[in-house]
Amino acid sequence: MILRFALGVALTAALLTVSAPAVSTARADAADAAVERQLSTLAERLRTMVATDSATRGPGARRVVTVNLPEENPTSAAVAGLRFHTRRGIGFASWRVHDAMHTRRLVDVPIRSAGGPLWLGDPGDHRLVFALELRDGRRVVTVRRLSASEGAGGTERSAGGPVDA
């Protein structure tokens, strides 16, 4: 009887040891896919804004979105952070899951953070405003956090669909 119990414990431990890396990879893939889906939708909306709206020096064309960074749970790894940046005049988003950094092209104009660097590091919903502006005669998409006073009432758009604000 004790031998069967010991054999069962040893077999269970071996199975857990073998499956742990696969589970960790699946959780990271789930987090990466969740962010990728949201950024794909955001990229479509930003491209539409750039193609159809006029850039202004003041308040003008803007999109309010909610980006949700997955938290650590049994089916998903946590996203350690998300940032928006520009490389060679092209707007990108980059995020980190575990030790891997992922980058996605968003729009064919620069993305600039309004009011200093913008790093989204906490899991959960982040309400952001993307605006099309003129800076030094060039079209630029700016991004900033939505302030509490701006977010009162109305409907905002999430990166995945409409969300009541």
pLDDT the model gives residue 115: 78
Q: Residue 39 — pLDDT band, cuts 50, 70, 90?
A: very high
pLDDT the model gives residue 128: 94
Rounded to the nearest integer, the mean pLDDT of the chain is: 80
Question: What's the number of domains the chain is made of?
Answer: 1
Rg (CA), the chain: 21
Q: Residue 8 — pLDDT band, cuts 50, 70, 90?
A: confident
Q: What share of the chain is helix, strand, coil (3-state, %, to 5)?
A: 30, 40, 25
Domain that holds residue 72: 2-164
SS3 138: strand
Name the range with the highest mean pLDDT among 15-29, 113-127, 141-155.
113-127
64-116: pLDDT as tens digits: 999 999 888 788 888 889 999 999 989 999 998 888 888 999 999 999 988 77
Strands 79-87 and 119-120: antiparallel
